[in-house]
Amino acid sequence: MSVSERVERSRYFAGSWLLDASMDVQRLPLPAVYELAQEYRNHAYAVSKRVKTESQLSQYYTLISMAIRVLRYIKQAYPLSIEQDARATFDLVDLLLKETHDLDMAESYLSSLRERLLNHQMSGSRSSVMGLRMHCELLLLCRVPTERNTKFHYKAALRSCEQLLKYLIELKDTDRSFEDWIEVFRYVSLSLNRKLGKHSIVKAKYAELSEVGSHHVQWRSFITLTHVNYLLNNRLPVPLPDWQRLDSIRIQDVPPRWYAWKLLLELVMQIYEDKNITQRLLQFKALFAEYKTSLDYTCDDCNVEMAKGLTLSLNSSFLLSYKDIKNLLLLLQSVSYLVNCHDKKANFSIKFLAKVMSSTKKSLEAPDILNDCSIGDIDVKVSWYAKVLSLSQFYQVWQNMLLVAEAPSLPNQHISNKHQSELLIALSSHLSHEDELLVCQQYEALTESIDVSNEIRLIALVNSYLIRTTLVSRNVGRQEQAKLCNSLWEQIVKCWTDSDLRNSTTLDCTLTMVWIMSHFEPFTSNPMPAGESDKSQQLEKLRQYYFANKLSLADDVPSRIEPEDIAGDSVEESLSLKKGLMMQILLNYLGGRLFEQDLETICQISAKCYRLAKLQNFPIVFYAVGFWHLTNCTIAMKTKEATIMSAKLEALEKKLQKHGL
């Protein structure tokens, strides 16, 4: 039985203890009884990391159940002041939400407390209980709906939150002390809209929060961090003002783990845009050198001071320890350098992915949790490790496909993400040269899923488009396939423009090359129809990419592929591409055929592309580039080179036929 299954079963077990709150104990002073409840809870959290068996888990939940029973006993058996009632209720609700499924009971206790607080306010003691009421509202409008995690409860909480905000804004005219709470509940409203997927409303509310210009630096930083995190998680473009706010966060103003969070977000943005990440990695190195010991768990990292006497305690699951940050950095570097996995001097993905998988497996067995915490917190961390491991396995399969161009062995892989697994299955069918229309169906089924990520959707759309344009080129169902190609291309453009994928020069160049190959001879026998303006626009874009990234012809194939310096100027950053091998071969193949006039230069480019194609095991590309070089050598009357190339191609052709290609 897995940890999560045992936790699930024992939470029901804990809930069954809540039916009877009567306690067979001698009447003790309230502070002593309250301290007893804390001891039960603290001892349970102290031993939670050592829970390995069903018996130990039952003992853990026995302690939790006793803490809950004691707190319920306090509420029933003692005459409590409003402050004492609030303290006991908040502790009780915290345990009910963390450790049981009885969310109705938790909400009932909070509603009763809110009613008492409202009555107390009406009797003339508003200022003394306002903080307690706001705490109660925060739990009812934010934490309880999050635990329920349904649209119905998010919508209900959002309505109540808007009503509360209206009430607080009216009070602000007579009492400025409510301004900080207004900011808090504006953020709650923002969070609820995020949960409901209302992206346009989230954008407007974030702008409203940003304009307030809170003088609380940590709070302002927290809002920025969570908003950019949300945008990246949903693959929405990060506007320049938001990027500037993120960039302005300084290590002096926030805890070190928050600053590491900021650097991670910036690193992910660079990877999404296929930018060079070297300088960002150096920032991490400097952070680790000075703050390594501060990057482990500390309670202060989870507190945000809003005002004097108002400090919010945040869920710490988004904050990682030094060990976890290092492991995540290795994974992100692996993804960033994946296209260079062929390069023996820069194959960081081969080196790092294996390390990530090894360390993550160890962390799954012994989670890196330093503070005492609940079993639920440990389960969240274990789930996070499992996701990291699944991602590592996904990218390792992808890497192997780039290295050997073979269909991946999927049964041995444990990839939890359904769409990632389905994409690998479709790619496996594609590489195995299965029926083309069936492969298209696999890709297109992926694109129809509502929750599929933009990258997977775009990869599936482009691959399906390429297969169908190949059928058009071969005159197989040309009219029907051409119609489907037009529909696919519209979806490709929409997917690219509606997300942050549009910031990637690699994807932009890839789509440009795909369009050129499907609309121009000699890359297709039956070019797709297009207007002259579209053709001119795409050709100009390809020309810019080609000359900004043209291979240097000064020497033989270097171990690291570098672009040629055009007229002594440095390559424009907006057009600079990562030096992925396949990208360089295709770009120089297309550019050499379309834009070069000098025959000797064309021969040099085709020769270099042919040598590059040797580095990666894509035999069909190797054959196509080799045939291009043979043609160039023949036209240039390079008899010796043409004879040698002809013999090599004959041998390669026999090998391809042997494998049924």
Q: Are residues 118 and 202 in the same domain?
A: no
Report which of 73, 69, 122 is spatially closest to residue 100, judged by C-alpha positions.
69
Question: Is 76 in the same domain as 132?
Answer: yes
**Per-residue pLDDT at 539 exceeds 70:** yes
Q: By mean pLDDT, which of 22-26, 286-290, 299-303, 411-415 is the weakest?
A: 22-26
Flag the least confident range among 345-349, 390-394, 519-523.
Answer: 345-349
Evaluate if residue 414 carries a pLDDT over 90: no
160 and 110, same domain (yes or no)? no
Residue 193 within a domain: yes
Is the pLDDT at 228 greater than 60? The verdict is yes
Under the banding of pLDDT at 50, 70 and 90, the label for residue 317 is low
Residues 112 and 131 both lie in one domain: yes
Cβ atoms of 542 and 512 closer than 8 Å: yes
Whole-number pLDDT of residue 170: 87
The C-alpha angle 560, 566, 571, rounded to 5 degrees, equals: 60
Across the range 564-581, mean pLDDT stands at 59
pLDDT at 124: 53
Mark residue 124 as left, alpha or beta (left: phi above 0; alpha: psi -120 to 50; beta: remaining): left
pLDDT reported for residue 573? 62
Last residue of a domain, one of 319, 335, 369: 319
Of 380, 445, 384, nearest to 419 by C-alpha is 445
- Record the tokens describing residue 333, joined without a space: 């570097």
pLDDT category, 376, cuts 50, 70, 90?
Answer: confident
Does 339 fall in a domain?
A: no
What length is written for the chain?
661
Same domain, 198 and 219: no
* Residue 466 clears pLDDT 70, i.e. is over it: yes
The structure tokens 């409860």 sit at 153
Q: Tell me whether residue 38 is in a domain.
A: yes
* Dist. CA 615–CA 525, nearest whole Å: 29
The three-state secondary structure class of 312 is: strand
Mean pLDDT, the chain, whole residue set? 85
pLDDT digits (tens, 9 = 90+) for 576-610: 887 678 888 999 999 999 999 999 999 999 999 99
Residue 613 near residue 625 (C-beta atoms within 8 A): yes
- Calculate mean pLDDT across residues 124-136: 77
Are the C-beta atoms of 63 and 40 separated by less than 8 Å?
A: yes
Buried (b) or exposed (e) across 610-624, using 16+ Cβ within 10 A? bebbebbebbebbbb
| pLDDT score recorded for residue 568 | 38
pLDDT for the residue numbered 303: 80
Helix (H, G, I), strand (E, B), or coil: what is residue 306?
strand
What's residue 267's pLDDT? 95
Phi, psi for residue 312 in degrees, rounded to 5: -95, 140
Q: What is the pTM of this model?
A: 0.86
276-285: pLDDT as tens digits: 888 999 999 9
Query: By residue range, what is the domain housing residue 137?
Result: 1-141
Q: What is the pLDDT of residues 482-498, one digit of tens each?
A: 999 999 999 999 999 88
Please tell me the total count of domains within the chain.
3
Asked if residue 258 belongs to a domain, the reply is yes
> Is residue 194 located within the same domain as residue 83?
no
* DSSP E strand boundaries for 303-383: 303-307, 310-313
